[in-house]
Amino acid sequence: MRKVYVIVTGLLMAALVVQFYLAAVGAFAKPQDDKSFALHDLNGMMIIPVLALLATGAAALARAPGRLIGLTALPIGLIVLQVLIVAVGRGIGGTEDTTTTAGLVILGLHALNGLAMMGVVGAVLRRARQHAAEPGKQERARVAENVA
Q: What does the pLDDT look like over 12-47, one tens digit per residue?
A: 999 999 999 999 999 999 988 879 999 999 999 999
Say which amino acid occupies 124.
V
What are 85-137's pLDDT values in tens digits?
Answer: 999 998 997 777 788 899 999 999 999 999 999 999 999 999 999 999 986 66
Least confident of 49-53, 72-76, 116-120, 139-143: 139-143
Q: Residue 89's pLDDT is what?
A: 92
Q: Residue 1's pLDDT is what?
A: 93
- Rounded distance, CA 44 to CA 79, Å? 8
User: At 96, is the secondary structure helix, strand, or coil?
Assistant: coil
Q: Residue 61's pLDDT is what?
A: 97
Residues 48-71, buried b or exposed e (16+ Cβ, 10 A)? Answer: bbebbbbbbbbbbebebeeebbeb
- Rounded distance, CA 80 to CA 108, Å? 16
Mean pLDDT of 76-85: 97
Query: pLDDT confidence of 60, banded at 50, 70, 90?
Result: very high
Q: Residue 33's pLDDT is what?
A: 84
Q: Residue 121's pLDDT is what?
A: 98
| Domain assignment of residue 101, given as a range | 2-147
Q: Residue 137's pLDDT is what?
A: 62
Length of the chain: 148
Specify whether the CB–CB gap between 82 and 113 falls below 8 A: yes
Alpha helices in the chain (DSSP H): 2-28, 38-42, 48-61, 66-91, 101-147
Whether the per-residue pLDDT at 81 is higher than 90: the answer is: yes
Query: pLDDT confidence of 143, banded at 50, 70, 90?
Result: low
Q: How many domains does the chain have?
A: 1
